[in-house]
Amino acid sequence: MQNKLIYLTTNPHKVQEANEFLVKKYGFNLEIMKPSFEVLEIQAKTCGEVAKFSAKYAAEKLGVPVLKSDSGLYIEALGGLPGPYNAYFDKQIGTEKFLDMMKDIPNRHAKLEHCFAYCEPGQEPILFTGGSTGRISYEAKGEKGRWHDKFYIPDGEEKTLSELRAINYEYEAQFWGHALDDFAKWYKEKLERK
């Protein structure tokens, strides 16, 4: 596969994920890029909307096809927050303050959303979404991953995403859904049609 896939991110966890799946698993020629301009992110209700807008904006500015991702944690008791404002919550509150804020809330139900948007210049973005449902733990556990990985426990599990990742990266990846695999299969077919 000769075509280079441009993936826009500065998040080290997303870089690791892209290298594990897009390069090692699918063999794509991947370039992870931080453009010289700020990739705008809109305020929206879902991560999918954010990813689609950012991918289209960046594809038009760069003049090449791009892949952009976004993820969020929707907590039922907080009306769906932090949702697409996940990174902002991490930066402003952090794990410990967040869990302290949640300590007396009995409803711990949450949903994890993981989205990838691919866009070519002059086209509408194509969105791939995934995720899982779970609950918020009462304490942070584990060292790996994003801030919410240390307190999000997928349904059917007793360990946080962070703890699961330390045990088995591929097993933990299933709780992010199939968005990345769905994109990769679609993109591979697209390359083969050329």
Catalytic sites, residue numbers: 70
- Calpha distance 109→191 (Å, rounded): 40
- Calpha distance 180→157 (Å, rounded): 22
CA atoms within 13 A on the CB side of 160: 19
Task: List C-alpha distances in Å: 91 to 4, 136, 144.
Answer: 32, 19, 17
Which has the closest alpha carbon to 72: 107, 48, 97?
48
Residues 6+ apart with CB under 8 A from 47: 70, 71, 72, 83, 84, 113, 114, 115
Q: Parallel, antiparallel, or unpaired: how do β-strands 4-8 and 109-119 relate?
A: unpaired
Is 148 within 8 Å of 127 (Cβ atoms)?
Answer: no
Can you point out the beta strands (E) in 12-139?
29-33, 66-75, 82-83, 109-119, 126-136
- Calpha distance 166→153 (Å, rounded): 14
